[in-house]
Structure 1
Amino acid sequence: MALNWMDQWWKIVIDSVVTRLQQCISNRFDVADNEPQAAALAKIIDFKLWPIVEEEDFGNEELALLVDYHRIMLQNCGNPDMVEVEWAGIKSSVYNHFKPVHTTTWDQVNNRFREDGPNLLFLVDLLLTIPSHSVECERGFSQMKRIKTGWRNRLFCSTLTSLLRILLESPRESEFDPLPAIHYWNSSARRARRAFQLRYGSRQLTSGDTESDDEGLSNDESEG
């Protein structure tokens, strides 16, 4: 049975929507093909993806790709040619000192091998600042809506940025140490005072004020 024009129109619309949806899903999840840097980042950064037993060539290709991609920034802060050399030594040290390797964190590696691989750890620090998904962005928008409500729509951008940074990047209350902030607050320079402005204090009566007060008292006594 031949389709009428309405059915044909709906079929065209549905086919176009399905095709577009498939393209979006493919672009979103085909990370290895479309975004090789993201796949390399995950393999290097996530210790859960490391092999249980040390492999000599593990991560070498991915690290070379990341070094080439971030070479300009690495040149400004270190020597990118030393990253792969430091990677071989630190990778072996991680397997020797941390077992099982899947429970290791980069904080532990940084504290123990900071002097052995400064260029590699700088690259790792750079990679850790790159969000691997959009959850952080969605969380940031959610917090921004909570801060900048209809009653506070005139907040300055700098104030909004500071409040968002506190909510998104500050440690938990149980882990927060307020002493550095208190010391900084106490040691910071105070706002300059006005040299020719007298401080507020008890008001000094002039001779005119005294006479007017005496006259007021005498009038009250006479009326009484």
Structure 2
Amino acid sequence: MDDDKGIRDLVRIQLEEAGYQVLQAADAMEALAMMDEEAPDLAIVDVMMPGMDGFALTEELKSFRDLPVLLLTARGSLEDKERGFRAGSDDYVVKPFEPKELLFRVEAILRRYGKEAGSVVTVGPLQIDRGSYEVHCANRTLLLPLKEFELLAILASRPNVVFEREFLLERVWGLDYEGDDRTLSVHIKRIRDRLETLTDQVEIVTVRGVGYKLEEVR
């Protein structure tokens, strides 16, 4: 929930690429109305919103649902943080922020509430379980090394969407990665080889000069 559409879109894209389903609201009233129809696992709330501010919205969310809340705001003083935690927020992220840090904090909150990202992403006959780090196909189970699993899970989060090489390197190896980007090519080849043992209905496609996408073979 943020009145800045640019921030909302940034957060939405990062979360969706990590496999989360995202609902958006421009202000507190819209968010509260949405709660009558939806049952989210976590709310990311901006402090500075028109009408009811993020502190008051956090108290409201906590009072009737005990919904996990992460406050996202440009106000980073100790007094503001204290007010946020006293309102019931579970964490507090100050703008500008690193998108990957936001994901870490979301995952940490969900773990505390027993709602960790155990979602299963399905592409064709493949089921990619983020909770167990397993890939299932029919009655077979494949265990991948962590980096390979993370790459496959990112590609599967948005089938048929091309992910740039730089984005994949940043997401899987981190912003400070200084190695050769051929590492990514090697890992993609290994994933392809493993998938071939499971199914011929899903493949990783190279988009020359850009990156990779996962798509169903029809």
Place the TM-score, normalised by the shorter chain, in its bin: under 0.3
**TM-score (norm: length of structure 1):** 0.27
More helix by share: 1
More strand by share: 2
